[in-house]
């Protein structure tokens, strides 16, 4: 029963030569168009950093542009992250300094 059903389901239709070649034409052209579009996008992305370097000479990128966001919430979250990062760096630097002072005192 099941093999019969599968055989019925996968039974190919009689296709004319014109239909066959039209189908092949659509499939191959479609694939070529997709590749062309994505290759062009890829080339554009690859050239973008160099392009922006030239633009930056006339119109330098402003790093603090994030502060113009219309979402005040993200500003708060960024500030918290910045404070945490500054705190971590200060802590690390102070520990390094204390370790250096200790080793200096031990030598003396």
List of residues contacting another protein (CB under 8 A)? 8-13, 15, 19, 22-24, 26-31, 33-46, 48-49, 52, 55, 61, 65-66, 68-71, 74
Q: Are 75 and 69 in contact (CB under 8 A)?
A: yes
Would you list the DSSP string of the chain? Answer: -HHHHHHHHTPPPP--HHHHHHHHHHHHHHHHHHHHHHHHHHHHHHHHHHHHHHHHHHSPPPGGGGGG-S-HHHHHHHHHHHHHHHHHHHHHHHHHHHHHHHHHHHH-
Nearer to another protein, 45 or 105 (CB): 45
CB 79 to another protein: min, Å: 16
CB 85 to another protein: min, Å: 16
Nearer to another protein, 3 or 105 (CB): 3
CB 35 to another protein: min, Å: 5
Nearer to another protein, 26 or 84 (CB): 26
């Amino acid at each position: 029963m099941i093999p019969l059903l599968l055989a019925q389901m996968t039974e190919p239709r009689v296709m004319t030569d014109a239909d066959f070649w039209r189908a092949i034409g659509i499939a191959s052209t479609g694939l070529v168009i997709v590749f062309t579009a994505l290759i062009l996008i890829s080339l554009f992305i690859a050239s973008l950093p160099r392009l922006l370097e030239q633009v930056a000479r006339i119109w330098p990128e402003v790093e603090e542009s994030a502060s113009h966001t219309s979402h005040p919430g993200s500003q708060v979250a960024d500030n918290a992250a910045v404070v945490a990062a500054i705190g971590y760096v200060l802590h690390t630097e102070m520990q390094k300094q204390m370790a250096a002072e200790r080793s200096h005192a031990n030598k003396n």
